[in-house]
Amino acid sequence: MIVVGLGVAIPASQAFLERILDTAIGAFTGRSAKQAASATAPATPETPQPTDSSAQNLPLEKEAPPTFAALWRSGLDARQPILDLIAPTYILNERYQIVDWNPAFDEIVAKPLNLRRGWHAGEFVRALKNTESVVTRAQKVFGGAEPPLVDEEILEFPSQKYGLIRFRKLACQISDEHGRLKAWCVHLNIIEPGDGQALWDDLRNRLKREVNWSRYARSYDNLLLHFDEYGKLLDKIVKLVGNAPRCIDIGAGTGNGTLRLLERADREVWAIDSNDTMLQYLQTKAAGARKDVLSRLVIIKEDIQRLDDYPPAYFDAAIMVNVLYAVEDPQRCLQQIHRMLKRGCRLVLSTSTRDTDLDRLFAAIEDDLRRKKVLDEFREDHQQARQRHEDMKDRIHRDTPDLVRQHVTKAGFRIVEEYLNEYVGAVMIVVAEKT
């Protein structure tokens, strides 16, 4: 089996994926993957919390949602090769809970509805204009013991931004190696796009960002893992975290900060990012690390500005390495981190500011590669990363140091330490405590 993401192919057997899933879920929940999948206990801090609705329910909607730990692996296992399509697409597990979706579905549906992975498809269905007919049909078609292999219907979605969008839904079963139902892939073909031009413009821009980040993942790792100053930055951030036993890495990317945190043998780490390729790099590196790493790692695919559903006062520390500048709403993101941390616990973040000198940073990276005699090997990566940063220059230079401080304190933190001109003068480090 080949698990294929945007820009990367990772060999993985079914047994290997199931072994990883069992290990990760077992460490976090004390249950195997199969036990977690069959659990019917009430939702806990381990699980997404959907809205409590007494409205019409779809088949199996009252079932307990999957654990956070299970979402990433179950979605990845079912996702390829059909999820990475341009049209809005999402994956349902056998209980019709949404375990993943692609960027097009996120942009048009999930983001405006504030949907969460792990919620039942009913949360989407109840937002439709033709909810009643869809629910009535679902109860008839999917309520029995033998659901159809393929299903088609029209969905009418009243978007506040684009007007009424009509989709032709095509859902098909995904089977395991024994021919049993494992998941559903639901493809939404846009047949009437509401305000079409605005929708297509937003969709094109979103997909462009996703592809750019996916392409950047390889260059990012090739360069930074050979750049000594980057290693020093990670070491300093992890040292500032202290002895915190349960940490969360916000915007984990390919997992370099996550793996540094996991070097402490008694530490559990949650890694959150929204980009498939980044997370697949993280997964691959974690699988190749020391034996116990996967048992202490929870990988979550989610927009870091949409963390409302994650457990409050649950983590002992959070890190955010060179991410804040890229966040559209830094205030909201920091408020969510504040909510998830225990009182008195730390957030350690590094971020660029208006003073960041990109020319100096990339000259230093080039010098390091030349000194290590690998510049020719990674010259193309250097050029691609440099162009990526140039394209994001406005974001990188968006905040002054004072504005970064304001974001942090307005979110409810108290700044206890601060370091300017770190990482060849490219970032500042802020250490803040939840008050």
Q: Output the pLDDT for position 168.
A: 97
State the pLDDT at residue 6.
29
Contacts of 137 (CB under 8 A, 6+ apart): 153
Rounded-to-integer distance, Cα 111 and Cα 96, Å: 19
The proportion of the chain whose per-residue pLDDT surpasses 90, expressed as a percent, equals 67
CA 279, CA 275: separation in Å to the nearest integer?
6
Task: Indicate the helix (H) or strand (E) that contains 37.
Answer: helix 33-38
pLDDT at 69: 72
**What is the tens place of the pLDDT at every residue in 200-215?**
999 999 988 888 888 8
More confident residue, 69 or 346: 346
pLDDT band at 50 (very low <50, low <70, confident <90, very high): low
Angle at 180 between CA 177 and CA 183, to 5 degrees: 95
- Whether residue 257 contacts residue 238, with contact meaning beta carbons closer than 8 Å, is answered with yes
150 CB-contact burial (10 Å; exposed 0-12 / middle 13-18 / buried 19+)? exposed
Residue with tokens 């088609």: 152
pLDDT at 73: 66
> Has domain 213-434 been given CATH number 3.40.50.150?
yes
Residues 92/96/98/103 CA torsion (nearest 10 deg): 50
In the predicted model, what is the mean pLDDT of residues 296-321?
A: 95
Q: In three state form, how does the secondary structure of 192-213 look?
A: ECCCHHHHHHHHHHHHHHHHHH
Q: Over the stretch 315-344, which tens digit does the pLDDT of each residue have? A: 999 999 999 999 999 999 999 999 999 999
Domain range list for the chain = 82-194, 213-434
Q: To 5 degrees, how large is the angle CA 266–CA 71–CA 277?
A: 85
| pLDDT tens per residue across span 71-128 | 766 666 555 544 565 799 999 999 999 999 999 999 999 999 999 999 999 999 999 9
CATH class of 82-194: alpha beta
**Is the separation of the CB atoms in 132 and 56 below 8 Å?**
yes
DSSP reduced 3-state for 167:
strand
- The Cα 13–Cα 261 span in angstroms is 28
* Reported confidence tier of residue 254, pLDDT bands at 50, 70, 90: very high
Does residue 20 carry a pLDDT above 70?
Answer: no
The answer to whether the 82-194 and 213-434 domains have the same CATH topology is no
End-to-end CA distance of the chain: 48
Mean residue pLDDT across the chain: 86
Give the pTM.
0.80
Q: Between the CA of residue 199 and those of 113, 159, 167, 302, what are the distances in Å?
A: 16, 10, 13, 22
Contact between residue 194 and residue 163 where contact means Cβ atoms under 8 Å apart: yes
- For residues 409 and 431, is the Cβ–Cβ distance under 8 A? no
